[in-house]
Amino acid sequence: MHTLELLLMPPASGLILTLLGLALWRRGAGRLLVLLGLGSLYLASLPMVSHALVGGLQQRAGAVAKAPQAEAIVVLAGGRRSDAPEYGGDTVNRYSLARARYGAVLQRRTGLPLLVSGGRVEGDEPRSEAALMADVLEAEFGVPVRWREEESRNTCENAFYTARLLAAEGIGEAILVTHALHVPRARWCFRRTPLQIRAMPVYCSRPQEESGFDWRGLIPQAQAMERTRFALHEYLGLAWYRVRYGDRPLGGGG
């Protein structure tokens, strides 16, 4: 799925269409493919387009089931930075760091015990993403981590293994920390477990209607391309989960 996703996402998808069009330039379809390829790259890099995609996910993230009697804080890992020379090995990437930081803030505010969730996505990493986040939370933010869920490789496994671990502790409701764009997919997964969550997301973008029209939104920007990729990743991920898992409760493995 990872390789297929890379090919389907910009900029690879647009470049593939453009190159294919150039190869078929003498045929009528070639010019159309070049137009589609360059057009998709342009649209994907527009702030107006990225804001629209992000806004759709954040609206869906708003109606999250509440857990007024939360008994724990769950922080989902968002990836690692491998072989960071300044740290002498693997460490959290910027997504995991942002979630860990907010998890630390919430832990200090509430005093609730903290769980970090994230395994070895590729399978051969020396340490889990949960362990890397726990290092940052304890050593850099001074916040204790009660539990480490280190078996999961994707969001649905995050939900399943976290719910199982907390159920063994008699905990049925928790605060969930992840990126705002990731909330709809995470919520979809946790709804298929007994654990009730209240999402407390990081990186909530300002709605486009509040910021008003800006002509610069028609100028391609690398940051907009990154937002578009993040949003498309979530849309594709949610669609894939619906196909793979359906409406059944989550089980282990997969």
Question: Residue 79 is encoded by which pair of tokens?
Answer: 């990836």
Domain 69-199 top-level CATH class: alpha beta
The DSSP element (H or E) to which 177 belongs, if any, is: strand 173-177
Domain extents in the chain: 2-59+216-245, 69-199
- Position 60 scores a pLDDT of 62
Q: What is the pLDDT of residues 104-131, one digit of tens each?
A: 999 999 999 999 999 999 888 999 999 9
Residue 230 burial (CB count, 10 A): 19
Nearest to 71 by CA among 8, 109, 101, 113: 113
**What percentage of the chain has pLDDT greater than the value 70?**
91
Going by the DSSP 8-state scheme, the letter that residue 192 receives in this structure is T
Nearest to 155 by CA among 178, 175, 135: 178
Q: What is the pLDDT of residues 43-85, one digit of tens each?
A: 999 998 998 898 888 766 554 444 568 999 999 999 999 999 9
Residue that has been written with the tokens 């996402």 in this structure: 9
End-to-end CA distance of the chain: 12
Residues in contact with 97: Cβ distance below 8 Å, sequence separation at least 6, in sequence order: 136
Measure the CA–CA gap between 196 and 186, rounded to whole angstroms.
12
The structure's pTM equals: 0.87
Measure the CA–CA gap between 254 and 76, rounded to whole angstroms.
17
209 pLDDT band, cuts 50/70/90, is: low
Measure the CA–CA gap between 177 and 101, rounded to whole angstroms.
10
- Position 238 scores a pLDDT of 92
> For helices 222-245 and 28-44, what crossing angle results, to 10°?
100
Length of the chain: 254
Q: Which of 39-48, 97-106, 215-224, 235-244 has the lowest mean pLDDT?
A: 215-224
Going by the DSSP 8-state scheme, the letter that residue 168 receives in this structure is H
